Amino acid sequence: MKNTYHKLTLFFPLIFPYLFLMDGQLFGSTTVTSFFQRDEGKIAYSKIGNGKRNLILLPGLGDRKESYFELSQILAKENSVYSFDLRGMGESDVSFSSYGPKETAEDILAFIKEKDLKNVYIIANSMTAASAVYIRSKEKNRVHGLLLSGPFVRDKEPLSLGMKALIHLAFRGPWGPSAWASFYESLFPVNPPKDLKDRSEELKMNLKEEGRMAAVRSMMFASKNECELALPLAFGNVIVVMGSKDPDFDSPKEEAEWIANTLMGSVKIYEDAGHYPFVEDPSRFSSDVQLLWQKK
């Protein structure tokens, strides 16, 4: 993880000057956005499909629910699929006092209870893998399985004060959204999707909205400690999907195996894929999601 933050600094020279490009509509989706009220603000989500299983899709740090568009279309043929924006991201409010994996978990736990969802499966990416672990530890009767992709479920070595200051500088100010968009593109090191520039541009335009980069910075430094402590309570029927070229990990395979062993799960390695395997190969990814209930 420490190496990941060092890699972020490579984009620092790119943020002066920065470009503000087109304002296109990604995917051409007509999916309707709904909102779930929390004490400090609203959480945005979309729902498609009407199956007996309820699938909850959680994007990673700094990403939006639209990143799951292709996957959700496939899964919605037989399931009810809920795709969420995290606090401060996408169409969710920026009025929250805190952002992080536990906060995301608490939002989803409240959603599951309010909607009285049963037969739930959670698909999470990056930081929200820790959220999924926490959710499962609290609602194992309702949440029957997890698929974690490019997952962070534990804290690594702390950053130095100098590195923290550099990251704050890189992602603060009017250049912040462009810097984050450049970093996002780097997470597809081998086989980027054909529409990567469109995805990146949509993400940048969203992050230019007031308060959203502050939410990203808050999530970057949020602790996963309480989620990590929940690992022993979240085991069973877990699949860990990792891209073999995921630049966010020094050894993607090693981290995937540690998580799977800890959660008594299995590992799927996508050769030459990066941090978002569900974007690079949504068809294969959907087949792996279905293993959560097909093998039972």
* Alpha carbon distance 143, 291 (integer Å): 15
Question: Are 240 and 260 within 8 A, CB to CB?
Answer: yes
The one-digit pLDDT tens for each residue of the chain (296 residues) are: 545 555 555 554 444 343 333 333 344 345 799 999 999 999 999 999 999 999 999 999 999 999 999 999 999 999 999 999 999 999 999 999 999 999 999 999 999 999 999 999 999 999 999 999 999 999 999 999 999 999 999 998 666 666 666 666 667 777 889 999 999 999 999 999 999 999 999 999 999 999 999 999 999 989 999 999 999 999 999 999 999 999 999 999 999 999 999 999 999 999 999 999 999 999 999 999 999 999 65
* Alpha carbon distance 293, 77 (integer Å): 15
Question: Is pTM beyond 0.75 here?
Answer: yes
Number of folded domains in the chain? 1
Task: Find the domain containing 222 and state its range.
Answer: 2-294
* Alpha carbon distance 228, 235 (integer Å): 12
Please state the length of the chain.
296
Residue given tokens 């968009």 in the structure block:
181
- Secondary structure tally for the chain: helices H, strands E: 12, 8
Residues sharing a CB contact under 8 Å with residue 204, sequence separation 6 or more, in sequence order: 177, 178, 180, 181
What CATH code is carried by the domain that includes residue 169?
A: 3.40.50.1820
Burial of 110 (0-12, 13-18, 19+ CB in 10 A): middle
**DSSP state, residue 86:** P
